Structure 1
């Protein structure tokens, strides 16, 4: 290696530049508050920081999704709360409609009240979430859930599921046909109804399941009760179970006040029955799961029945009583279903709160780990800054000495 005057100057300048570079890096760390100004400062920590930042971003995305879910479900809970109160009032009105002292005019007035109730319930079923999306239309959230005139369901069966956590999707809606047109899951209830062409005064009440373990109940099939005259001119009835041959005819005993549906293994279902049916009259007892439970169509049929004059006509009175009985049975099941769905909404909101708590805890963990990887230790940096400053001063003093020296001067001494 050849030693020259220029080499002295180069080494002195390089030493000063190195110290200034180190000093500048320390200033950048202090100014930014970050230990890693560039990935080269700590490649492993930089890679870990990228992974943690990505995980934190995903965690935040899930938090945003939960906020949307919470908003949608809260709006639905509000709608179902309104529906619950309305159904409670409706049940009271139905009991009032069965008052035997009401005149045709009174029932017509009540029909107008029920029509208003029906419109209010339709408004609840077609409520939006505030962003123009219908709550109960499934994936078809751009159109109303129900037709205002016919009460038919217009949406689809899609649940709008949202990724609430890494391994959990939560439905942010419920389907209108499930909320307003379906019996509760697992219900063993039956619904009775009279045929439209009945001419007698027979009235069938709500069926009562006598044995939940009876094969007929577990198989959930419907029954038809048909009345006929025997050879002696007496009224008898025939029970036929769906998909099976009719059972032997049984003489009708008005004083008994009930009809039992069952086989040799016992009574499955029993219905209270009154009045005098005519030959050709028929009644059905159908599992709620197989019954049309559309709340709006039930109200439409009831409103029409209440608007029909019945004074002095035993057959018309019986048709009205049967229509009221069927409507009350269906509305009671609709009420139970709305409560069931609302409970489900509350459960999902509670789960979202729990996931929010876990998500915030994870976010704190991510932030803490990023702080350990990226944040500067001010005590260490300040100490290094003082050390580098002293080193820079020493390098500057050494270079000053070099500036006043050369090989020619040194060789002449």
Structure 2
């Protein structure tokens, strides 16, 4: 195959043009630090870079969501710690109020202290986070969840909505709890049945706490009343099943078996005929911490006279302390849940950060210039171009006319 002079010259010029173009491209990569400026530079790499950029943006948003969720949970955690501190103070005052040496004035002072603590608890229930949103209002984050009506009773104005945040592609996490759950509810686990004496009792009978011998007995979830038909006999009414036992002989301090025998309770002192006591499952009793506080405050403000009055106060304090125990157990359970969610988010933050760094590294490998490799290519291409230019210059002189002229 014969190659004409014009073809030969054209091929050499094209080769040098290509090398100059390569040099220009390599120079741009070196000066800009970007090896993938346009999709035509590396179509497959460009597609991968788009995917990595989208993944990086998604991970960045998840990281932001995780920070938001963690801050919200930390605010609630701190608030619940304060609530527990207040409830512990209430418990201490109730124990003190049971001191038989106190007089009406002493108990009135304790009632006044409890009223102040109730206001403090109300303030915590209407607490806000760093952004001014109410912690326990549900979806109504701009409205105080609790208010006091004309009668002095506390009303819940929030809803049951629990806000969630998407912290990973497959995980939505709750970033709060409602005021109804925290201050008006109880935890099914760890709560105790509530015993109470009728406030109109005239005898000196006092009821103790429930002792559970068989936690799986279904009748433990029934409500019972113990009604004294005389000072020495009583009947047990299963309010849930609507049944009443035959009269039984009363002995102070002797265990009284309830229902199927899964639990029992003791009554001490000397009840009068017509006196009654009740045992209510925790979930069916009053779970409103504010209403329970109001009842025990009223009991402490009532003048105590005689054995009957002292017994009624003892029963009221016992009921209040059991209800308070259930509330504290509930708050602790919620705080434990909050702490677990905080730990989960912190673990996810570590994973997200690792994935973000790996994604950024992979994207950099695709789009950023490898200086060592690029400089080497630039130098080699430059040498090749110089050699081509010198060779072409020498070949241009290989003409018969040059020899004839000599």
After the TM superposition, which residues 254-403 of structure 1 pair with which residues of structure 2 at under 5 Å, given as runs?
Answer: 255-258=251-254, 260-263=256-259, 267-310=261-304, 312-390=305-383
SS for the counterpart of 1:37 is: coil
For residues 186 and 254 of structure 2, the distance between their equivalents in structure 1, rounded to whole angstroms, comes to 25
Q: Distance in 2 between the 1:401 and 1:365 partners?
A: 53
- In 2, Cα distance between equivalents of 1:260 and 1:166: 56
Q: Does 1:172 align with 2:175?
A: yes
Is the 8 Å Cα contact of residues 203 and 275 (structure 2) preserved in structure 1?
yes
Residue 163 (1) aligns with residue 166 (2): yes
Aligned to 1:45: 45
Q: Any conservation in 1 of the 2:192–2:322 contact (CA below 8 Å)?
A: no
1:300-357 deviation line (CA, Å, top 9, x unaligned): 11111111212x2444333322211110001111111211111111111111111111
SS at match of 1:239: strand
- Which ranges of structure 1 fall in alignment gaps of 5 or more residues? none
Q: Is the partner of 2:156 in helix, strand or coil?
A: coil
Q: Does 1:238 align with 2:230?
A: no
Output the CA distance in 2 between the equivalents of 1:120 and 1:194: 29
Deviates more, 1:334-343 or 1:92-101: 334-343
Contact preservation (8 Å) 1:33, 1:376? yes
**Further displaced range: 87-96 or 391-400:** 391-400
Q: Give the SS at the match of 1:170.
A: strand
Gaps of 5+ in 2: none
State TM-score, norm by structure 1: 0.85
- Deviation track 1:122-154 (CA, whole Å, cap 9, x = no partner) reads 112211111111112222222223224422322
Contact between 1:206 and 1:272, CA under 8 Å: does it hold in 2? yes
Note the aligned Cα RMSD (angstroms). 3.1
Deviates more, 1:323-332 or 1:84-93: 84-93
SS at match of 2:226: strand
Following superposition, the deviation at residue 214 of structure 1 comes to 2.6
Q: Counterpart of 1:147 in 2: which secondary structure?
A: strand
Normalised by the length of structure 2, the TM-score is 0.87
Local SS of the residue matching 1:142: coil
Partner of 2:192: 189
Per the TM alignment, residue 280 of structure 1 is displaced from its structure 2 partner at its CA by 3.5
Offset of residue 46 of structure 1: 0.6
Is 1:227 aligned with 2:223? no
Seen in structure 2, the aligned counterparts of structure 1 residues 205 and 161 have a Cα distance that, compared at 3 Å, is same
Superposed CA deviations along residues 355-405 of structure 1, whole A, max 9, x for unmatched, are 111112211221222122222222232233234445665777799999x99
Deviation at 1:106, TM superposition (A): 0.8
Deviation of 1:21 (Å) = 3.5
Contact 2:234 2:248 in 1 (8 A): yes
- Name the CA distance, whole Å, in 1 between partners of 2:191 and 2:116: 32
Q: Displacement of 1:94 after TM fit? A: 0.6
2:252/2:269 contact within 8 Å kept: no
Residue 135 in 1 paired to residue 135 in 2? yes
Matches of 1:173 and 1:245, distance apart in 2: 40
Give distance in 2, aligned partners of 1:72 and 1:268: 42
Following TM superposition, the consecutive aligned residue runs of length 4 or more in structure 1 with deviations greater than 6 angstroms are: 7-16, 394-402
| Matched position secondary structure for 1:341 | helix
SS at match of 1:143: coil
In the TM superposition, residue 55 of structure 1 has moved relative to its aligned partner by 1.2
Q: Give 2:123's aligned residue.
A: 123
Note if 1:248 corresponds to 2:245. yes
Aligned 8 A contact 2:191 2:325 in 1? no
**Cα distance in 2 for residues equivalent to 1:115 and 1:376:** 71
Q: Once the 2 structures are TM-superposed, how far is the Cα of residue 75 of structure 1 from its aligned partner?
A: 1.0
Secondary structure, in 3 states, of the residue corresponding to 1:45? helix
Cα deviation, residue 272, structure 1: 2.4
